[in-house]
Amino acid sequence: VGHLQRLLAGIAAEPDRLVGELSMMTQAETHQVLEAWNDTDREIAASTVPELFQEQVEGDAAASALLFEDTTLSYAELDVRANRLAQYLIDREIGPEQFVAVALPRSVDMVVALLAVLKSGAAYLPVDPMYPAERIAFMLDDARPAMVLTTTEVAASLPDTAPQLLLDEPKAIEAIGQHVDTAPAIAVRT
């Protein structure tokens, strides 16, 4: 009731202000929520996602890292798949200062692709295949990715603005599988 009273008093005092800009909490409540309960300051070593992931692989490679529908991948299995795709991307001169669009539905392949792009040193642009075609076209035109990782089905609805790697195509699966399964040298890629 107190919060509602403060909100109504704020509306009366400042009728031209947006309701979302008004506070329902007292200063003491705001301090408690934003500062007291949120006191999580601690030292964290500067690390990249691939470095943190590699630490986890080394710590417990057999542990489950990814569960999607009927598929479970251990950290070691996810690492091998991501490393091979990362090496494939690196061989195609994908790396730092570049974007790779990932236009995949939620799947194991999507997680592998995101991790692989980071391991290559590039940044990923997530593209939800369910977005309207105009939005996807704008995103790809704006970001100008060096490559688009996708599937045959999704590629049919994508504009042809960058080279596409169809991850479900047998030739691509074979080509990726021929790459080494060790992690790219992180120091070289960042």
pLDDT tens for the chain, 190 residues: list them: 989 999 999 899 998 989 888 888 888 998 998 888 988 888 888 888 999 899 999 999 999 999 999 999 999 999 999 999 999 999 999 999 999 999 999 999 999 999 999 999 999 999 999 999 999 999 999 999 999 999 999 999 998 888 999 999 999 999 999 998 888 876 455 5
Residue-level pLDDT at 40: 81
Residues ≥6 apart with Cβ < 8 Å to 161: 137, 140, 141, 144, 145, 148
Phi, psi for residue 165 in degrees, rounded to 5: -110, 110
The structure tokens listed for 115 are 């991790």
Measuring CA to CA, how many Å separate 122 from each of 22, 32, 69, 151?
A: 42, 40, 28, 20
**Polymer length of the chain:** 190
Q: Which two tokens stand for residue 107?
A: 């799947």
Q: Is 47 within 8 Å of 62 (Cβ atoms)?
A: no
pLDDT of residue 189: 52
CA distance 28 to 155: 54
Q: Which residue has the tokens 């929520």?
A: 33
Phi/psi zone of residue 60: left (φ > 0), alpha (ψ -120 to 50 degrees), beta? beta
Structure tokens at 100: 């790779």
Cα–Cα distance for residue pair 50/119, rounded to 1 Å: 6
- Reported pTM: 0.75
pLDDT for 170 equals 95
Residue 144, phi-psi category: left (phi > 0), alpha (psi -120 to 50), beta (remainder):
left
The pLDDT value recorded for residue 141 is: 93
Other Cβ atoms within 10 Å of 188 Cβ, number: 10
Q: Residue 47: what pLDDT?
A: 86
d(CA 78, CA 111): 9
Closest CA to 168 of 179, 181, 154: 154
